[in-house]
A and B are shown apart, each in its own frame.
Chain A
Amino acid sequence: MKLTLKVWRQKNGKTPGEFKTYQADHVSPDMSFLEMLDVVNQDLILKGEEPIAFDHDCREGICGMCSLMINGVAHGPKQATTTCQLHMRSFNDGDTVTIEPWRAMPFPIIKDLVVDRSSFDRIIQAGGFISASTGSAPDANTIQVPKPDADKAMDAAACIGCGACVAACPNGSAMLFTAAKAAHLSFLPQGQAERHQRAVNMVMQQDLEGFGNCTNIGECSAVCPKEISMDTIARLNRDLIVATLKGLEPTVEPAAAKAS
């Protein structure tokens, strides 16, 4: 099939970008979306043009490196699917497809479709862990974890840190990402000791990075390739209330945000 692509091209963070139009003439329905871009890029290179830069690595929906707003939807039209797992049979011959990077202030554009998501790493560094140094652990079966709790922890832990939730949110909020990590750890007995402090610290960093507030719109969960539930956000909010009642203040130095 043949497609018309409107792709966001931008040399770097300092230069303004624009849409450019390309024809993709030999698209097979068996190709993945990224393979379709590969083929377009091979042509561009041979024509002496610069290929389109986009992030990707595992190409099996787990590393969280790929991104792309496809026709205005984060990760494209298929639910619970990352861009790398989207296949061209989801499109029709003659379609025009618009491809843009994630757009959010805390995700500055590096080049074309590649953005800087290091703000997510800094949120985790602020508290998204259990402080258990190597060697300090008791036997793994010492503490039982009820299966339903383990399952809920796993549901939340499935987040791949792709940033689609932020890109989809009209406020540019990172709450689903932050809440997923908080919920993963707070469902487990091992995560209780730091539970409320963790919530305060992560949210402090999240706000500092310039992510917007959550107003419960739900676009995040709708595009999330791992179907992280909005319930995690409610849970994080409850932890924050308890933290306030306990009078907890952030205990870590805020890490400098790149975007600001």
Chain B
Amino acid sequence: MSDTKNETTTRTGVRAVEFVKSLDAKAPGGPIEQRWDKHRFEMKLVNPANRRRYTVIVVGSGLAGGAAAATLGEQGYNVKCFCYQDSPRRAHSIAAQGGINAAKNYRNDGDSIFRLFYDTVKGGDFRARESNVYRLAQVSVNIIDQCVAQGVPFAREYGGYLDNRSFGGAQVSRTFYARGQTGQQLLLGAYQALSRQIAAGTVKMFPRTEMLDLVLVDGRARGIITRDMVTGKIERHVADAVVLATGGYGNVFYLSTNAKGCNTTAIWRAHRRGAFFGNPCFTQIHPTCIPVTGDHQSKLTLMSESLRNDGRIWVPRKKGDTRDPRQIPENERDYYLEERYPAFGNLVPRDVASRNAKQVCDEGRGVGPGGLGVYLDFADAIKRLGKQKIAERYGNLFDMYQQITGENPYEVPMRIYPAIHYTMGGLWVDYNLMSTIPGLFVAGEANFSDHGANRLGASALMQGLADGYFVLPYTVANFLAQVKPGGLSTDHAAFGEAEAEINDRVKRLLSINGKRTVDSFHRELGRILWDECGMARNDAGLRRALQRIPELREEFWQNVRVPGEGGELNQELEKAGRVADFLELGELLCIDALHRTESCGGHFREESQTEDGEAKRDDENFSYVAAWEYTGNLARPELHKEPLVFEYVKPSQRSYK
């Protein structure tokens, strides 16, 4: 890392220290098609007989972690894998519905590795690293082969060959799926491969075990501190390399489509230990979720995007119109997407659909409780195709909707509203998926990843499995080949110190005994972020949030109530630790959003829009990855930039008119 500092203060007052050549992505040069092959050949290997002597910790058992742990185990490394659920099979990857992309071109419809690469870079609004994205597209084809061999029951055509569909507005059919449960089936494939290694003794699994800190020795990641969630025991684990595959941080918003336990703790602790955080403000909002019904709401449920193929989105033209939607005549309805985007209509990308929904609700034209909803109406589709056809296409989804809302979508229009769904940001990694801490690798949604400022549908599953099955097994080995195995015990002072810090923190949380529950703080943080750093962001709002969040954090540490004891199963204590970290991450999210005065992908700055209100990028000033370094002062992280160079896909303005 270079130490030439350029201290500058950006227009927004965020102090930026640029290490001019600081972030070396280690992306190889040469023709893009050959980079990964060449790199693989140049990487070092570990002799099979030696592999047992190396220990690798994998935190997370989702697609990224499960695949990495299983594969490293197969190769003969000594692997320790951790998850917070009671079984590795329950990682949140299980909830993915739609499908997984791969450039197989089985449909002969013009797909190719280059096209998938191109679509991903463009879809990410030119904020991803070309070399990584190309590799992702390359290995996508191997993923499908591997999954089929494991017994993943993908959908088939009558001839027995694999079926594909087009997803998220892609012009080719490259999405593989297993009914509406693609994530579940891919995860079970990885879980089964992992189970085989557990039986073989190469992987030791630690379920209901939460990572609470990362341990560094001589600047290298050498282990973690965990809490056994059943006994409350704080434990030390030493290793030669550590992989974090702990998923996304969407729950910083409290309400999201993520599972209740999804958290930022693992990556946030690593960040505090020196790993840079990449593009934290790049979060994705999904337009078709079931709206909030009240204060009791604990999570939001996603409805597949495919509904927009036949449903028509509208709101009443009149403000505060509370008539039964069926009584509102055609000419008093505003089919706003069809009107504003005649070419794409209801099928505009996720961010555009979401922002428009917010806009009409902000105007007071939203429907349902609190006016936070828009109609997704199937009346025309049912007239045109018949109820039978619609039931065939969307029966499951309609049933789910009815189960949750008690309303019958065949009769009354559905109500939908956008919700936080995915986080493109995460720990910064180089081409080898290694963070700025040597020996600390980050995979899946937890890294800042290949999706730039916006992820395309069906690409997260692809990235998780690419990282886990096909990238980490090479790059971790390359790292291990350059270090001596073992030679460190958990008695080392660094473990003692980290453990003592965690013990203190647990004790402190349990002793505050204040007047507010953990959830009430989490809800309030979520509300601030959703209002000021959600679908649309502006200078004043972000500054308000930056004022509010530290105050809330302060109050949390004075006034939270965590009942029970540390030495037992204590779900409130688990939540308290996670929320404490969210309260810190939330601030960084807003700092990043404030400093990036351009709009791009899911990050919409109201100050930076085209004449027709579309997101306007500022390539001249912001064509970089923002990687934040923790300085000990949460309000003053240091910004490092990884410049992005586009050799193959030339940046252009997205337009959906």
Which chain A residues have a beta carbon within 8 Å of chain B's beta carbons? 11-12, 28-32, 34-36, 38-39, 42, 45-46, 48-51, 53, 55-60, 62-65, 78, 81, 85, 87, 89, 110-111, 114, 116-118, 120-121, 124-126, 128-141, 143-147, 150-151, 153-154, 157-158, 160-161, 184-185, 187-188, 190-191, 252, 255
Q: Which A-B residue pairs are the 3 nearest by beta carbons?
A: A144-B160, A129-B192, A137-B149
Contact B86 A87 (CB under 8 A): no
B160: A residues at CB distance < 8 A: 144-147, 150
Contact B144 A56 (CB under 8 A): no
Given A147-B158, A157-B185, decide whether A62 and B151 contact each other with a Cβ distance below 8 A. Answer: no
Contact B191 A124 (CB under 8 A): yes
Taken together as a complex, chains A and B put the C-alpha atoms of A46 and B153 apart, in Å, by 48
Task: Indicate if B299 sits at the interface (CB-CB under 8 A).
Answer: yes
Task: Indicate if B21 sits at the interface (CB-CB under 8 A).
Answer: no
Contact B569 A110 (CB under 8 A): yes
B161: A residues at CB distance < 8 A: 141, 144
Taken together as a complex, chains A and B put the C-alpha atoms of A157 and B89 apart, in Å, by 13
Contact of B571 among A51, A137, A252 (CB under 8 A): A51
Contact A125 B196 (CB under 8 A): yes
Taken together as a complex, chains A and B put the C-alpha atoms of A10 and B563 apart, in Å, by 16
Contact B207 A118 (CB under 8 A): yes
**Number of A-B pairs whose CB atoms are under 8 Å?**
224
Interface of A is mostly: loop
Contact B90 A150 (CB under 8 A): no
Q: Which residues of chain B in 91-116 are interfacial with respect to chain A, using CB atoms and an 8 Å cutoff?
A: 92, 94-95, 104, 106
Contact A35 B298 (CB under 8 A): yes
Task: Indicate if B13 sits at the interface (CB-CB under 8 A).
Answer: no
Contact of A128 among B178, B192, B561 (CB under 8 A): B192
Contact B196 A28 (CB under 8 A): no
Taken together as a complex, chains A and B put the C-alpha atoms of A58 and B90 apart, in Å, by 8
Taken together as a complex, chains A and B put the C-alpha atoms of A187 and B564 apart, in Å, by 49
In the complex, what residue of chain A is closest to B299 when comparing beta carbons?
A59
Contact of B146 among A28, A126, A137 (CB under 8 A): A137
Taken together as a complex, chains A and B put the C-alpha atoms of A189 and B487 apart, in Å, by 46
Taken together as a complex, chains A and B put the C-alpha atoms of A18 and B644 apart, in Å, by 62
In the complex, what's the smallest C-beta–C-beta distance from B561 to chain A, in angstroms? 6
A–B Cβ pairs within 8 angstroms, 19 of them: A28-B293, A32-B298, A42-B520, A46-B561, A57-B92, A59-B259, A59-B260, A60-B299, A63-B92, A121-B205, A124-B192, A125-B198, A137-B145, A140-B144, A140-B145, A144-B159, A144-B160, A150-B156, A160-B184
Contact of B145 among A124, A130, A139 (CB under 8 A): A139
Taken together as a complex, chains A and B put the C-alpha atoms of A45 and B179 apart, in Å, by 41
Given A49-B563, A110-B230, decide whether A132 and B154 contact each other with a Cβ distance below 8 A. Answer: no
Task: Indicate if B85 sits at the interface (CB-CB under 8 A).
Answer: yes
In the complex, what's the smallest C-beta–C-beta distance from B609 to chain A, in angstroms? 34
Interface centre among A78, A118, A126, A141 (most CB of B within 10 A): A141
Taken together as a complex, chains A and B put the C-alpha atoms of A23 and B567 apart, in Å, by 29
In the complex, what residue of chain A is closest to B184 when comparing beta carbons?
A62
Task: Indicate if B408 sits at the interface (CB-CB under 8 A).
Answer: no
Taken together as a complex, chains A and B put the C-alpha atoms of A252 and B572 apart, in Å, by 40
B261: A residues at CB distance < 8 A: 57
Q: Which residues of chain B in 290-333 are interfacial with respect to chain A, using CB atoms and an 8 Å cutoff?
A: 293-294, 296-299, 301-302
Task: Indicate if B87 sits at the interface (CB-CB under 8 A).
Answer: yes
In the complex, what's the smallest C-beta–C-beta distance from A44 to chain B, in angstroms? 8
Contact B192 A35 (CB under 8 A): no
Taken together as a complex, chains A and B put the C-alpha atoms of A111 and B85 apart, in Å, by 15
Taken together as a complex, chains A and B put the C-alpha atoms of A182 and B500 apart, in Å, by 47
Task: Indicate if B442 sits at the interface (CB-CB under 8 A).
Answer: no
In the complex, what's the smallest C-beta–C-beta distance from B412 to chain A, in angstroms? 15
In the complex, what's the smallest C-beta–C-beta distance from A177 to chain B, in angstroms? 12
Which chain B residues have a beta carbon within 8 Å of chain A's beta carbons? 67, 70-71, 74, 85-90, 92, 94-95, 104, 106, 142, 144-151, 153-162, 178-179, 181, 184-185, 188, 191-193, 195-196, 198-199, 205, 207, 230, 259-261, 293-294, 296-299, 301-302, 400, 403-406, 469-470, 473, 515, 517, 519-520, 561, 563-564, 568-569, 571-572
B400: A residues at CB distance < 8 A: 85
A139: B residues at CB distance < 8 A: 145
Contact B86 A45 (CB under 8 A): no
Contact A147 B85 (CB under 8 A): no
Given contacts A114-B569, A125-B196, A147-B158, 8 further A-B contacts (CB under 8 A): A30-B293, A51-B571, A64-B87, A116-B86, A139-B145, A157-B185, A158-B181, A190-B149
In the complex, what residue of chain A is closest to B516 when comparing beta carbons?
A46
Taken together as a complex, chains A and B put the C-alpha atoms of A185 and B153 apart, in Å, by 9
Taken together as a complex, chains A and B put the C-alpha atoms of A39 and B138 apart, in Å, by 48
In the complex, what's the smallest C-beta–C-beta distance from A76 to chain B, in angstroms? 12
Contact A62 B181 (CB under 8 A): yes
In the complex, what's the smallest C-beta–C-beta distance from A174 to chain B, in angstroms? 14
Contact of A157 among B146, B188, B297, B470 (CB under 8 A): B188
In the complex, what residue of chain B is closest to A81 when comparing beta carbons?
B403
In the complex, what residue of chain B is closest to A138 when comparing beta carbons?
B145
Given A57-B259, A255-B199, decide whether A120 and B569 contact each other with a Cβ distance below 8 A. Answer: no
Given A58-B95, A85-B404, decide whether A188 and B153 contact each other with a Cβ distance below 8 A. Answer: yes
Contact B156 A147 (CB under 8 A): yes
B404: A residues at CB distance < 8 A: 32, 85, 87
Contact B406 A87 (CB under 8 A): yes
Taken together as a complex, chains A and B put the C-alpha atoms of A129 and B469 apart, in Å, by 17
Contact A121 B153 (CB under 8 A): no
Contact A161 B89 (CB under 8 A): yes
Given A30-B293, A59-B298, decide whether A45 and B406 contact each other with a Cβ distance below 8 A. Answer: no
In the complex, what's the smallest C-beta–C-beta distance from A251 to chain B, in angstroms? 11
Taken together as a complex, chains A and B put the C-alpha atoms of A239 and B528 apart, in Å, by 58
Given A46-B561, A58-B259, decide whether A117 and B193 contact each other with a Cβ distance below 8 A. Answer: no
Contact B158 A134 (CB under 8 A): no
Taken together as a complex, chains A and B put the C-alpha atoms of A132 and B195 apart, in Å, by 12
Contact B260 A56 (CB under 8 A): yes
A58: B residues at CB distance < 8 A: 90, 92, 94-95, 259-260
Contact A141 B162 (CB under 8 A): yes
B470: A residues at CB distance < 8 A: 134
B405: A residues at CB distance < 8 A: 30
Contact A63 B85 (CB under 8 A): yes
B561: A residues at CB distance < 8 A: 45-46
Interface centre among B71, B158, B205, B403 (most CB of A within 10 A): B403
In the complex, what's the smallest C-beta–C-beta distance from A52 to chain B, in angstroms? 9
Contact B564 A50 (CB under 8 A): yes
Taken together as a complex, chains A and B put the C-alpha atoms of A106 and B590 apart, in Å, by 48
Taken together as a complex, chains A and B put the C-alpha atoms of A185 and B188 apart, in Å, by 12
Contact A134 B71 (CB under 8 A): yes
Contact A125 B199 (CB under 8 A): yes
